[in-house]
Structure 1
Amino acid sequence: MRLLLLLGVAASRCLHDDTQKSVRLLRPHLSQMPTRFRSSVLPLPISRDAQPLRIQTYYTRELASSEAWAPDGEETRGTSRALAALKEAARRIQGILAVTPVQGPLLLSRDPTQYCRAVWGNPDTPNYHRCSLLNPGYQGESCLGAKIPDAHLRGYSLWPEHGLPQLIQPDGPGVQNTDFLLYVRVAHSSKCHKEPSVIAYAACCQLDSEDRPLAGTIVYCTQHLSSPSLSYGDTVAVAVCPQATLHELLHVLGFSGELFKRWRDCPSGLSGSPFPKPARENCSTRRRVTRRDAWGQLLLATPAVSRSLAKHLGVPGTVLGAPLEEEGSLSSHWESRLLQGSIMTATFHGAQHTRLDPITLAAFEDSGWYQVNHSAAEELLWGQGSGPEFGLVSTCGNGSSDFFCTRRVISPLSLPHSGLGCHYLHLDKGRCSSDPMLEGCRMYKPLARGSECWKEENGLLTRAQSPHGELYHLHSRCFLANLTSQELSKDKVSPPSVTLTGRCYLHQCTHKGAYEVRVEGSPWVPCLPGKAVQIPGYYGLLYCPQGRLCLSNKGTGAVTSPPTSFSTQDLLFQLSLGLTGTPGHSLGKEERQELAEVVLQALVTRGGTSRCYFHSPFITTNLVFTVSMWKSPGCQGPSVATLYRTLTLTFQEKPLQVHHGKAIFTTEHSKLLTSMDHNLSMTDGLLSMGFCLLLLILMGTLGTLAYQKRATLRVGPSTT
């Protein structure tokens, strides 16, 4: 993925496909041991109920011979930044993907081609094709340069031509409470050196017996993470923010050209999302995941993806598939012309322009490995409702869609246009331009610096000098306008002040699709989408875009809301309430959504706070209510850690009762459990101490609570 150090920097070549192709994918080798010894390498037993994917991170300091250490202070600082971003991304994935969890410790496979030098070649012997001679140079297993500890690996043996094996290395203890093991490296690798703008790249290394990814590695480039010119907030928000890290995690979890061919068809296990009961015993390898259309465009042509894209474009039924970026023989990214702003396009344009879109979640549904919480999807505005011809090279320049711009900019008001307009989300001013991924199509791209309307600091200079009345604020948006407080010269046909250009003005939603605008010193003025308005005290007009602002019914919090900069301490808690369903009664998807709202409201009432602490609530088919907890900007009240502790204590003192239909659900404090503690217990002592110390400095009194927690409460219903 292309992770950009700063907005406006030229994008680098995508690294994921090249990186993944360089890694040997391992899966359990059951054929290498006789039947009576296979118990040590069989896949671990799994539960029949899907649970949120548990990701354990393991940081390693070992470097390849071609890499160099950063100075101690820089390396520690960079590592802490990377691990903080990973913790937030892993928390988010928990609310998106679920699997049949591994029971007991997770153990990874060893590569026989590495530890074994020769095998028995006589097919008539009982130990045919088993290791007859060990490789004396075997130094263990690695994953994209990360050394895998023996404690995480299965053992291996040396076999005689006849008889029982000699155990060389026993199984390690494995990693408990884990479904996916992610190794983390911070280094100045050769890839970092060759691609200066790349901050991170990742690859999957091991699969289970059904080809689901079990382990992978993400490498962060030291020179960017440890840059003294970047503050902690700048780095997380721009460089290694959770959205960027989430992109890499989604690659290693299955959104990869190398893994598409391993996707599985599980027709009976995906109904009733979010997180339905899986039916992986009915799965088979998909016959066709990708295809090419009549024009040679590579498509991801699986059922859920095709339905989701058709819904997004407003096309009845389905489409042939979602276009993939042409990146050689393989492709691991969506086509930018069609799905600009998706988290899985090849270029990262910043957190505020990136969405975890429904089409990407549909792809993970089609993988057959995961149960998907579709309610966690973020609305993708680009191309929404634009029809089947949207995003084609042949149509993007003919003015048929206002998502694209042309070399000859035509003003919606038939007035002169400066060529500077508004990014399609209206968060930034933009310039009409293209890049290699757009293949000649053009769009308004945010200017390198100072273009963000939602940043108040951008208006400090213009407010005193500009006659255009611009307002930079959290709720300001970009509008095409030629407003000026100066009287226009009558002897000029088209003075510069008449030219339309992108300007920043305050907006507020009145109801869905309707909003008001305010200019410096003016009252609020109703802005009818698709029309132009005059502002009291100003000459000129302001054009009101249609179909872009105030798309929800939630007032000012429109789909084009600016990015939310979360601190690490805001993203640490996930609360789950396990509910055992009323005997003989099951809940449909809509009923589960209704019940989720009832439980959420009870939590809000019990905590004595507002809903701004609780995010993405959902209930699985096996009736587990889960809600993420962090404190949104502007949210008034105690810290999220204090609220979390208060709730768990009150549950022990007084059960929580919720009514839904004819049932009453009551929490049982005796079944309060704590799980999913993503700590760094496996990290070497020195780095752990340094990381914890930095977290203490950054998060103050939060202290050791800076590790992600998820409390599980079992809830038992009783009928009225």
Structure 2
Amino acid sequence: MAPEWGGGTGSSGLGPRPSRWHWSCSLWVRGVLLLLSGFRASATSIPVSLGSSPPCRHHVPSDTEVINKVHLKANHVVKRDVDEHLRIKTVYDKSIEELLPEKRYLVKNKLFPQAISYLEKTFQVRRPAGTILLSRQCATNQYLRKENDPHRYCTGECAERTKCGPIIVPEEHLQQCRVCRGGKWPCGAVGVPDQEGVQDADFVLYVGALATERCSHENIISCSLFFGFSAGLFAFYHDKDGNPLTSRFADGLPPFNYSLGLYQWSDKVVRKVERLWDVRDNKIVSHTVYLLVTPRVVDEARKHFNCPILEGMELENQGGMGTELNHWEKRLLENEAMTGSHTQNRVLSRITLALMEDTGWYKANYSMAEKLDWGRGMGCDFVKKSCKFWIDQQRKKRQMLSPYCDTLRSNPLQLTCRQDQRAVAVCNLQKFPKPLPREYQYFDELSGIPAEDLPYYGGSVEIADYCPFSQEFSWHLSGEYQRSSDCRILENQPDLFKNYGAEKYGPHSVCLIQKSAFVMEKCERKLSYPDWGSGCYQVSCSPQGLKVWVQDISYLCSRAGQVLPVSIQMNGWIHDGNLLCPSCWDFCELCPPETDPPATNLTRALPLVTVMVVCAGPSQFLLQCFQSVQLTSLFVEQH
């Protein structure tokens, strides 16, 4: 396969706001064109802001943008018996050179080199191509094919310039123009002969910084896209032996679905399934899902969720064109990199690497996969039923609702921990201005909410099927960002006099549940912070088990759920509170058997008071001095 970029309407389209910049990244790999696009980010001025973005509006390749049987220079094709690491060639548009020096350095020396290094280590190409030479665009965007001829012939003239998205492709990357005059045979090559092409590359990445119409909206954020994860390419997947998973016509193309505007995949790739879906009032409705059912994806999904009967991995069913079917279902893989919006802590999991292998174009290095905690080991009820069913079952078992929740965002906040226990979080359950679709009404009751208002309540992330979940956030003051709630970022450490819970942010810190609100005490003053429920604390692993550190004092967790009474002195104040121990296995590779903790040590730091101290010194006179001291001991020296 190979790309063809549309002519005419496919201009760069300078928008009305040239001061807004967007990194426009066009990807070409083994004949597949992909565009990295963008979308608007929500803005808020409230004190606490959930880190959620609108759905990714991926540009799905049309039939004219997917070219089958790309011609490669035969004398440059290198035959290899083993897979080799993916080679990515980055081509920077002149617009990058026009950026301010610091931005140009960021793009060319940090962002793209780091991303490319990761991808090259993660993927190998099954059948590495030779020199890449791209087809020229047609002036009319119409072309003809000749039997047993790999080239495409423009009906008329070739376009003056060939573009990859909004970026002009260099002439040296292009084939000779091939045309059929008047749309009739004979057809042939005209003009400048084939150029040198792109050598020593399996993937060409064109990068520009252009103020295009598509990116003229404010607050643009990058959009997730991965090589081959696109509904426009599902019909071109093939098995490990190179056989197409979707039947082809004589011209090598699969059937085209005009209602979808896509090549139609077979049920060996994507399958439609009806789920039984629990909703409010004890009703069950039918819920339609589309599953990606390729072999490696099925295997990895079953292992991840611990569901041996899972038919495949669910694709996104919301978000409209560019999100629907082009990403994993947000409800099931919340922070996986290939879900349709960014909310928190993105990771690239084994499931996405499995999909890349199942395209037939890559081999994946699974050691490069990142750990995905969301949904891990939660079973078939979690992955095959609605979040209402899961929440109700957890309530019956008197177990935590995680990763879902049912706490309304209110003032003060009831804090909790993110699913992976690496950030403080809040439940994103909220009231919507209109009743949610019947399919997404999950609550039979909510504390303090009248029954007639229940249809208005759901999670704030639409593409997660409105399921409420605990989500990291950021603090704002007068609309200005202050810090985020990620425990591992040292810069998130609260100010000394606002650190009620004696928290510690840093690379070795995790989120722990607070059993009670922390109280700061000094003399006759007692202070507590209204927003409580969790905080960030440093932990370490030891032969005795997991240790929690508060200031310089360590507390040993003998078992999960153990209550740790904390009483420490910090900056002249006594901080009292209780923390809940997590499981040692959540953070340590080796853990001793769980035991009951020793008898609770009720010793607390003594209060700070103002006292009169009478001092007698060698000068043989009395000095009356007022000091704020800690009453651990009082020693009067007399001579």
TM bin, normalised by shorter chain, reads: 0.5 to 0.7
CA contact under 8 A between 2:417 and 2:423: conserved in structure 1?
yes
> Does residue 526 in structure 1 map to residue 557 in structure 2?
yes
SS of the residue aligned with 1:364?
Answer: helix
> Does residue 24 in structure 1 map to residue 53 in structure 2?
no
SS of the residue aligned with 1:93?
Answer: helix
Tell me the residue number matched to 1:197: 219
Amino acid at match of 1:509: C
Taking structure 1 as reference, are residues 551 and 336 closer, same or farther at Cα in structure 2, changes over 3 Å only?
Answer: farther
How many residues are paired up?
Answer: 456
- What TM-score do you get using the length of structure 2 for normalisation? 0.62
Q: Distance in 2 between matches of 1:529 and 1:305?
A: 33
Deviation of the 1:171 alpha carbon? 0.9
SS of the residue aligned with 1:91?
Answer: helix
Pairing partner for 1:80 from 105, 110, 117: 105
Pairing partner for 2:540 from 505, 508, 516: 508
Q: Distance in 2 between matches of 1:476 and 1:389?
A: 32
Amino acid at match of 1:445: Q
Pairing partner for 1:440 from 443, 466, 475: 466
Deviation of the 1:73 alpha carbon? 4.8
CA contact under 8 A between 1:381 and 1:548: conserved in structure 2?
no
Q: Cα deviation per residue 1:362-401 (whole Å; 9 max; x = unaligned)?
A: 1112111111112221221111111112153333543725
Q: Distance in 1 between matches of 2:114 and 2:493?
A: 31
Q: Distance in 2 between matches of 1:118 and 1:303?
A: 36
> Does residue 315 in structure 1 map to residue 336 in structure 2?
no
Q: Distance in 2 between matches of 1:164 and 1:540?
A: 82
Tell me the residue number matched to 2:582: 545
Deviation of the 1:321 alpha carbon? 0.9
Deviation of the 1:27 alpha carbon? 3.5
Q: Cα deviation per residue 1:102-149 (whole Å; 9 max; x = unaligned)?
A: 4642212234575878999xx9xx99x9969742x7213211111112
Pairing partner for 1:147 from 165, 168, 181: 168
Taking structure 1 as reference, are residues 79 and 457 closer, same or farther at Cα in structure 2, changes over 3 Å only?
Answer: closer
Amino acid at match of 1:541: N
Taking structure 1 as reference, are residues 312 and 119 closer, same or farther at Cα in structure 2, changes over 3 Å only?
Answer: closer
Q: Which has the higher helix share?
A: 1
Calculate the aligned-residue CA RMSD, in Å: 4.1
Q: Distance in 1 between matches of 2:139 and 2:367?
A: 44
Deviation of the 1:197 alpha carbon? 3.0
Taking structure 1 as reference, are residues 10 and 386 closer, same or farther at Cα in structure 2, changes over 3 Å only?
Answer: closer
Q: Distance in 2 between matches of 1:181 and 1:71?
A: 19
Q: Which has the higher strand share?
A: 2
Taking structure 1 as reference, are residues 396 and 106 closer, same or farther at Cα in structure 2, changes over 3 Å only?
Answer: same
Q: Distance in 2 between matches of 1:164 and 1:467?
A: 78
Deviation of the 1:355 alpha carbon? 1.4
Q: Distance in 2 between matches of 1:427 and 1:554?
A: 20
Pairing partner for 1:49 from 65, 82, 85: 82
Pairing partner for 1:356 from 348, 360, 370: 348
Deviation of the 1:405 alpha carbon? 4.0
Tell me the residue number matched to 2:609: none
Q: Distance in 2 between matches of 1:497 and 1:149?
A: 60
Tell me the residue number matched to 1:173: 196
Taking structure 1 as reference, are residues 443 and 545 closer, same or farther at Cα in structure 2, changes over 3 Å only?
Answer: farther
Pairing partner for 2:330 from 313, 327, 336: 336
Mark the structure with the bigger radius of gyration: 2
Tell me the residue number matched to 1:407: 406
Q: Distance in 2 between matches of 1:321 and 1:398?
A: 25
Amino acid at match of 2:366: H
Pairing partner for 1:423 from 418, 421, 435: 418
SS of the residue aligned with 2:304?
Answer: helix
Amino acid at match of 1:11: S
Tell me the residue number matched to 2:238: 264
CA contact under 8 A between 2:313 and 2:328: conserved in structure 1?
yes
CA contact under 8 A between 1:470 and 1:519: conserved in structure 2?
yes
Q: Distance in 2 between matches of 1:309 and 1:80?
A: 39
Taking structure 1 as reference, are residues 534 and 394 closer, same or farther at Cα in structure 2, changes over 3 Å only?
Answer: same
CA contact under 8 A between 1:47 and 1:100: conserved in structure 2?
no
Deviation of the 1:438 alpha carbon? 2.2
Among all aligned residue pairs of Structure 1 and Structure 2, give the percentage whose two residues are the same amino acid. Answer: 24
Amino acid at match of 2:538: L
Report runs of 4+ in structure 1 exceeding 6 Å deviation: 115-120, 159-164, 495-499
Taking structure 1 as reference, are residues 534 and 173 closer, same or farther at Cα in structure 2, changes over 3 Å only?
Answer: same
Amino acid at match of 2:306: G
Pairing partner for 2:315 from 313, 324, 328: 324
Deviation of the 1:82 alpha carbon? 2.8
Amino acid at match of 1:24: E
SS of the residue aligned with 1:343?
Answer: coil
Tell me the residue number matched to 2:18: none
CA contact under 8 A between 2:519 and 2:528: conserved in structure 1?
no
Deviation of the 1:168 alpha carbon? 2.4
Pairing partner for 2:486 from 437, 444, 452: 452
Taking structure 1 as reference, are residues 170 and 359 closer, same or farther at Cα in structure 2, changes over 3 Å only?
Answer: same
> Is there any run of 5+ residues in structure 2 with no aligned partner, and where?
1-37, 44-48, 248-265, 275-286, 395-399, 429-458, 476-482, 569-574, 593-639
SS of the residue aligned with 1:524?
Answer: strand
CA contact under 8 A between 1:192 and 1:199: conserved in structure 2?
no
Deviation of the 1:311 alpha carbon? 0.5
Taking structure 1 as reference, are residues 438 and 368 closer, same or farther at Cα in structure 2, changes over 3 Å only?
Answer: same
> Is there any run of 5+ residues in structure 1 with no aligned partner, and where?
31-38, 63-69, 202-246, 267-278, 411-416, 556-720
